[in-house]
C-alpha cells in the first residue's frame, strides 16, 4: 500500500527564512503528488500538484515543490516565508491512473514568527 512520510511534525521559522518541508512516498510506480495547506480556521486547500513534465512545480503564494523520482521525494520549498504562511501542510499521493484515492501524510505544522 502507498504511504507518505512527512519528516517534520512542527517547524518554527522566523520571517524571511527559507522553508523546505520534506515528503517521501513509498510507491514504486508512477505517481501524482500534491501539497495541501490548511491555514488556521480555514479549509484544507490545494497548494500545488505534480502529474508529469517539469519536476519543479510552482504553486500559489510563492511555493514550489520538486519531484525527485530517484529519491521518492516531493519536498515543498519557499525562499522567504511570511507570518501568513503559518499553517499545516499536507503532502498527498495517488497513482498515475488517478483511480486510487489520495493518501495523505501526517502533516507538518509551520509556525512563522516575527
Residue carrying C-alpha cell 522567504: 80
Selected from 19, 92, 110, 112, the binder of another protein by CB under 8 A is 92
Rule CB under 8 A: is residue 49 a binding residue for another protein? yes
- Residue 13 to residue 31: CA distance in whole angstroms: 30
Smallest gap from residue 105 Cβ to another protein (A): 5
CA dihedral defined by 80, 6, 109, 15, rounded to 10 degrees? -10
Query: Which span (21-29, 45-53, 64-72, 74-82) binds another protein, by CB under 8 A?
Result: 45-53
- Using CB under 8 A as the binding rule, whether residue 101 contacts another protein is answered as yes
Stretch of residues binding another protein (CB under 8 A), selected from 18-26, 46-54, 69-77, 79-87: 46-54
Among 7, 30, 51, 61, binds another protein (CB under 8 A): 51
Question: 32: how many CB neighbours lie within 10 A of its CB?
Answer: 18
Cβ neighbours of residue 86 closer than 8 Å, sequence gap 6 or more: 39, 40, 110, 111, 112
- Contact set with another protein (CB under 8 A): 4, 32, 43-46, 49, 51, 90, 92, 94, 98-107
Amino acid at each position: 500500500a502507498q504511504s507518505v512520510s512527512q519528516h517534520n511534525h512542527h517547524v518554527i521559522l522566523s520571517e524571511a527564512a527559507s522553508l523546505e518541508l520534506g515528503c517521501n512516498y513509498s510507491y514504486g510506480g508512477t505517481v501524482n503528488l500534491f501539497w495541501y495547506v490548511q491555514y488556521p480556521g480555514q479549509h484544507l486547500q490545494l497548494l500545488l500538484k505534480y502529474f508529469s513534465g517539469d519536476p519543479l512545480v510552482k504553486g500559489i503564494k510563492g511555493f514550489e515543490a520538486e519531484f525527485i523520482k530517484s529519491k521518492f521525494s516531493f519536498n515543498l520549498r519557499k525562499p522567504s516565508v511570511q507570518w501568513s504562511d503559518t499553517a499545516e501542510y499536507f503532502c498527498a499521493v495517488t497513482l498515475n491512473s488517478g483511480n486510487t484515492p489520495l493518501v495523505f501524510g501526517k502533516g507538518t505544522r509551520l509556525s512563522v514568527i516575527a
